[in-house]
Every structure is written in structure tokens, then in C-alpha cells.
Structure 1
Amino acid sequence: MVLSLWTLGHSTRQIDEFIGLLRAHQISFLVDVRTVPRSRYNPQFN
């Protein structure tokens, strides 16, 4: 079985746009690997 691994930076995207990118590329699982999994500037990604 071949698996693909994608990376995606959220930058300052709105949550709807971010989810749209995931769906457009048929990405069904998301893993948050940030050292601190929260954002002071973009709380939609907390």
C-alpha cells in the first residue's frame, strides 16, 4: 500500500478556506504537529 503525506500551512487563512483546501485535495485526516497546538493570532486553529 502506498500512502501519501501532505503538508499544509494555515498562515492567516479563514477556517472555511482551509477546510476547502483539504477537501479539494481529498485529504480526510489531519494531524497537528505544532509544538504548541494553538495560535494567539489565529484562534480558529486552536
Structure 2
Amino acid sequence: MPIWHTALTTTATVGSNRDEFVVVRKMKNIDWLDGEGNDQVQESVK
């Protein structure tokens, strides 16, 4: 086992440092908002 392996595993994110929850919503369509002036909020599917 290389010496650097221990350093990488000890500095990596562990379970206690991760987010506790994630919000996932289904959307009608996906708009990547690539153009200028496209800063409106998309509505979620109900």
C-alpha cells in the first residue's frame, strides 16, 4: 500500500461531514438556462 493512501483517506469527506438530506423534484422539462436573460425559476410537477 502506498504511503499517500493513508493521507487521502483521512482527509477525504466522511459520513458525518456530508449533507443530512437531499431534496429531489420531478420537473416538467429541463431548461439549462444557457442564454442571457434566462434567470426565471422553473415550476415543479405536482
Same fold at TM > 0.5: no
User: Per residue, is there more helix in 1 or in 2?
Assistant: 1
Higher radius of gyration, 1 or 2: 2
| TM-score, normalising length: structure 2 | 0.23
| TM-score, normalising length: structure 1 | 0.23
